[in-house]
Amino acid sequence: MGVPETAQIWGQTFHEATFRTLRDSGLFADVARSGTGRYVLGANILEQATRGYGATFSVHYVLHDRQTDRDVWAEDVTASYTFPGTAGTVLTPYNTEYKALMRACGRNLATLLEDLAAQPNNRWRGP
């Protein structure tokens, strides 16, 4: 198996990053991998693109309340990251694409947390 033409983040990598981000944020009363909690966050990667020394990462998120069987929040989140055009950046183009994509993903997850925290009456915080 060779190196892909462009950098990409695999679904399992994104799943793990999302889980850890939610767990470490303290935004939810509890975060479980099993999907058996009251709230289930669905995430569908819409786009992951690298351009030059930058990247864009877009995800459609849906927060579903299993108790009421209703979606309580949904949003498309897009985040970007661009490295400065330095000699070090120019000398490692593949690594730079991947790193830019990872940083765009990190910004995407940070925006997810900000958007969820800003919701009025966010019941998922717990008691």
Per-residue pLDDT at 6 exceeds 80: no
% of the chain with per-residue pLDDT over 70 = 83
The domains found in the chain, sorted by start residue, are 11-118 (3.30.160.150)
Tens-digit pLDDT profile for residues 22-60: 889 888 777 777 777 888 899 999 999 988 778 999 999
pLDDT band of residue 61 (cuts 50, 70, 90) is very high
Q: What is the pLDDT of residues 103-121, one digit of tens each?
A: 999 999 999 999 998 888 7
Backbone angles phi, psi at 63, to 5 degrees: -105, 120
pTM for this entry: 0.83
User: Side by side, which strands form the sheet with 39-51?
Assistant: 39-51, 54-65, 70-82
Q: How many Å apart are CA 108 and CA 78, to the nearest integer?
A: 6
Q: Please say if the pLDDT value at position 66 is more than 50.
A: yes
